[in-house]
Amino acid sequence: MLKKILNLFKSQGPSQTKTVALNSAKVGEFYNKNTDKFIEVYGDIIQAFRTNNVYDYLDYTIQNAELKDGQKILDAGCGIGGPASYFASKLNVDVEGVTISELQVQKANAAKPSQTLIGKTHFTQGDYHLIDELYGPEVFDRVVFLESFGHSNNKPLLIEKALKVLKPGGVLYIKDLFKREHPNAEDGKRIDKIVAEIDKAYCYHVADLHEVLAALRRLNFIILFVKTPDIKVGEFEHLTISNNFQELFDIAKIISWEDYIFPVDFYEIKAMKPPFDISQQKHLYFLNRPEIIDSPVK
Ligand SMILES: C[S@@+](CC[C@H](N)C(=O)[O-])C[C@H]1O[C@@H](n2cnc3c(N)ncnc32)[C@H](O)[C@@H]1O
């Protein structure tokens, strides 16, 4: 797999890409090896932060990412296609899913969606750091990362690629876990340790919110919101699914709760690509209204 992924990166610059390719190959192998385990526990929606009825969470995603009829959507890190199929069962959308794992793409293509699709889905095996090459520029109305973004070991690069494939006025939506801040050095050390264990067990690079926001702002993304997912306590699954997974398969199992500090925050980030070319029109400011695409504010 590594050779194949390194080949995919041929046209990119040499230095940063090798570490990205190496990491992506590792993640691909992780999912080739563990996808059946994930399916056993999570079904076809491989997300830790969810509602008791996981489809309620996907409805929430539709609402907050503003997925709408007629859109072309990229589900970057699509798993075995559960979310993409759900979106296409609710809306007349055209969803492209990309996953680094060959096994997942086979499963996504073989799966029979439980609901009739109104829209379309299409799944590709590939690296989401290369989506500009896979799909071309300014193709998507939405790029969504649903607990997939944190696998990247070069998030500024990944955000740059999302910018390229989004249409002007298109929206990037990230739902993921971010390392918690801490009030003192002692808690900080414990959080660092637990996060390092999560990273190792899940091939993850739990994101730093500041780094991600800085990368978005550097590229002139318009930050629409950063928030904790807004779901009712009674509907929240309380992360029991990831505890079950960890217990069952001995992956990142928590041995003792004594010194445990909850190490991450779950956030949704929604950011819009500027509706006009900011590098050409640096004197302009923008509003977060898609309708100004044709008439930027002077
Ligand atoms: C936790 S799963 C989430 C899957 C899916 N979003 C869902 O909600 O069911 C993480 C996903 O990110 C994908 N992924 C991680 N790194 C990737 C990369 N470099 N390129 C493409 N997909 C990647 C994995 O293959 C996996 O499908």
Dump pLDDT digits (tens) for 199-227: 999 999 999 999 999 999 999 999 999 99
Domain ranges across the chain? 2-174+223-251+267-276
Contact 81, 52 (CB under 8 A): no
From the CB of 158, is ligand 1 less than 6 Å away?
no
Q: How far is the CA of 119 from the centre of ligand 1 (A)?
A: 22
CATH 3.90.1150.10 for domain 2-174+223-251+267-276, yes or no, is: no
The tokens describing 18, both together, are 């090798």
Contact 147, 48 (CB under 8 A): yes
Q: What is the pLDDT of residues 128-139, one digit of tens each?
A: 999 999 999 999
| Beta bridge partner(s), residue 23 | none
Residue 35's closest CA among 195, 245, 281? 245
User: Which ligand 1 atom is at minimum distance from the Cα of 42?
Assistant: 9
Pocket test for ligand 1, best of 27, 109, 133, 146 (most atoms within 8 A of CB): 27
Distance of CA 75 to the CA centre of its chain: 8
Greatest Cα pair distance, the chain, in angstroms, is 59
Asked whether the whole model's pTM tops 0.75, one would answer: yes
Confidence check: pLDDT of 293 > 60 = no
By CB atoms closer than 10 A (0-12, 13-18, 19+), residue 278 is middle
From the CB of 46, is ligand 1 less than 6 Å away?
yes
Q: What is the pLDDT of residues 28-53, one digit of tens each?
A: 999 999 999 999 999 999 999 999 99
